[in-house]
Structure 1
Amino acid sequence: MNVDTEAVPFLDLASINTILQHDYDVAWKSVMQHGRFVGGPEVEEFEGHFSAYCGARACVGVANGTDALTLILAGLGIGPGDEVIVPANTFIATAEAVCAVGARPRFVDVLPDTLLIDPDAAAAAIRPGTAAIVAVHLFGQMADLHALHRVARRHGLALIEDAAHAHGARRRGRRAGSCSDAAAFSFYPSRNLGALGDGGAVVTNNVELAEWVRSCGDHGRSVTDRYRHVQRGCNSRLDSLQAGMLSVKLASLDTANTARRQAMEHYLRHLPPWCEPVAEHPESESVYHLAVIQVDNRAAVAASLERNRIGWGIHYPIPCHRQPAYKEFVEYLPVAERAARRVLSLPMSPSLSTAAIERVCEVLWKAPG
């Protein structure tokens, strides 16, 4: 290994945030001056901006993306005795939220090209106790909500978006967050729209659901009388500092997403043929939260990247239905299980240079495919 070769980080958060430092400082000073660290004006401002950005009527900031999904499920009345259809290829938080409300996840397989939930598999999994389908928008690309909406409508099910990877993504011209009963967003720092800590949001066209989520996440407090608690709630609020920082980042999100798309296009021109990129559906406009390929010899390829100081990740090496904590829900889902053995995430960032991409690809060309 040439020790003089510059490392390529998996995600360069320092570079992303340094560009916005001046605006972050302004937002920080504003919150410090008024001192309303919880429930300050920045929260309402961000909620308005983000709901408009998504093309939805309402947004409620919450503590994190898992809470967002849990609150949606609870607000829709989903709980014990219900089943919720969930793709096996997702982060464990999707299933975690279903179990948190007392419902049972019903894991289904994914499409082999996009690795997104298979609408036909979802339809085949519906049983008398099925209450909802969670469409996970993975790696930056939206699932087929048009097909899933038909399935949900035919069977009277709720359709929920897990949009943690999809801030700004479009399908058929509509953005994530505008095409379902409600959408859960995460603002974990690594997200395309990432906070400087944790955070999340519920985005929906159902104003009554939004009001319920706001009340529940604020200890079940009445919206008209802060001393009256009208339901058994929880503590899940987006704080003023994070909301201020998110408003700063939202202003440049489309520019950053365009840079991610350009980075992926450069990858596609230079990857060796044995690297199989996850496909982008013709109706989709992915925001490439991750740059995911599939390879047959992942351990050896990852070792080559490691030796050359190139960051990498795996999303995800164990599908949800094979996790020890969810063994009671085990199914045989061949597409998700094969993908779990082959997926590999390459460096991706809006600040990723073409030179860095070419170096990654040069290492891949020399790796045992």
Structure 2
Amino acid sequence: MATKGMSSSASTPAADPVALLSALIRCPSVTPAEGGALALLESVLAPAGFRVSRPVFSEAGTPDVENLFATIGSGSPHLVFAGHTDVVPPGDAARWRHDPFSGAVDEGFLFGRGAVDMKGGIAAFLAAAIDFLGGRNGTFKGSISLLITGDEEGPSLNGTVKLLDWAAREGHRFDGAIVGEPTNPKALGDAIKVGRRGSLSGRITVFGRQGHVAYPDLAINPIPQLVKLVRRLTAEALDDGSERFDPSNLEFVGLDVDNTAWNVIPAEASARFNIRFNDQWTVETLEAWLAARLDEAAGNEIAYELDLQPGWSQSFLTHSPELIDALSDAVEAVTGRRPELSTSGGTSDARFIKDYCPVVEFGLVGQTMHQIDERASVDDLRALTAIYRRFLDRWFG
């Protein structure tokens, strides 16, 4: 199934990551739109012998999302590469050096939304896998699968979490996973992600009494009360970090008062926050920490409600010398640098995969992700392909 008149044998040679990434960028797959990206991947994977499925998942109140699962081989060891073709909106296209969906190559860089986050990782792995299969004449002991979602940049409800469950029900069991997120802060080979802090979001709502600003004795203003609660939660650090994780941090991201009038004291005010937490905490212990401090600050004077949002994730750390050493050796062989084993940064779909098999993350340099003029170095893209190729030889060796 070709996309936009292209075929894998013409303008997107299967083992050429630059041509493949350029073609993927030309698919405007702004989350949750498929945009032709999964169709393009199928047009490359199927001729290479992969069995391709494209399940669509639904959730009330969210858009349907199309996903892709492709597999080749049988049995163990079973390696799964996970990624997403959905991208964030490009912003003002006029501010880009090249159209954000052109896939243009200029001065050694390939420009476009998703070049780094994370169509580049998908293109590199697919090129490496096809080259690996060609070198083995299509035969090897084990299985290779690609688990590609269109919902990573969205609510993450109809993507990887449901695709993993679907794959398990289809009988797939994974021995290791690589997520192709842009993990390197400055140069390719800087870091492999071997874990992630957890993430918890919540909202604090304070209930006052609406009234006229000229008669404050007849009203209760919730705004100063909310400020008191916010100050209490930001008065102390959660922790100082642990052996493998950075310190946990609580950040307020929004203060909301539904009031457009100048002479009305509002009835309620709320604040939204997010906590990134390390292995010293769980969602349950954080909830208890929050409630204790809010109750202390509120006393008998402030009526409030704490609402923790769905979609939270616990912290995790991968313990798999086979997976970590094989990837570290491949990175060092290509770049000359032994990567740091890192747990820094935000969250990713690895938080779902960890429940099925050991998982690590390694991809391109992430300095331009989500920015105007997002771009991937052509040299880095080819080097990442070489790293994945060496890893496959080691993993299936």
User: Which bracket does the TM-score occupy, shorter chain normalised?
Assistant: under 0.3
Q: TM-score, normalised by structure 2?
A: 0.23
Indicate the structure with greater helix content: 1
Higher strand share: 2
Max Rg structure: 2
